[in-house]
Amino acid sequence: MVKAIKGKKMILNTMTTKATFTIGVAIFLSSFSSAVLGQTDLYMLAGTGVGNILDSPRGGYVSFELRKPIIRHKDVIFTGNVVLEGEKDEKYIGLGVSAEKRLSSRIKIAISTGIGRFSNINLDLGSKTEFRSGVDLFYRISRKVMLLMSFYHYSNGGISDYNPGAESVALRVVIPLDGNS
């Protein structure tokens, strides 16, 4: 997996990284089989955001994410996430996990992190492999629909010598795909 070592920085073999990522996506998506979907909550987050908010160029993007609860521990729900974000040139696809906690009947908060692939066409983040970490604030507007405001930081975690990072904010609608939320 490691092609070369430069000081303390690792340069990953791109083909191996792509294969590992593809296998991970396939395993995660296979968990969304019809039998599993009938037994557990699954919800989609869809909306828009603005990327690179602290620098320029800023850019608008669309965001789609599937979240599925995988572990419930007391009043915290851990979810597995599949993320697709982007616009005409820049795209991010990734896998992640979130920890969600309900604060009231209408409000819940989540922290999330994950790893994915970023296109690096107009915005150079130093690597195509990027980590995405952030905070989500959910607000229930009806039994089946919630609004979601998110703040995310994207970073290659130092796997490249160049690591400027980028921040984004997004406003999305949360829609349960099984009728619950």
Looking only at the bridges linking them, the beta strands covering 166-176 and 146-155 are antiparallel
Give 112-160 pLDDT, tens digit per residue. 999 999 988 788 888 899 999 999 999 999 988 999 999 999 999 999 8
Decide: 50 and 168 in contact? Cβ < 8 Å: yes
Residue 7 has pLDDT above 50, yes or no: no
Ordered domains of the chain (ranges, CATH):
40-176 (2.40.160.20)
Residue 4 has pLDDT above 60, yes or no: no
Q: Which helix (H) or strand (E) holds 15?
A: helix 14-30
pLDDT band at residue 9 under the 50/70/90 scheme: very low
Give 25-68 pLDDT, tens digit per residue. 565 555 555 444 444 588 999 999 999 899 888 889 999 999 99
Decide: 147 and 180 in contact? Cβ < 8 Å: no
pTM reported for the whole predicted model: 0.75
CA neighbor of 65 nearest in space, from 39, 87, 102, 93: 93
What is the amino acid identity at position 2? V
Decide: 82 and 95 in contact? Cβ < 8 Å: yes
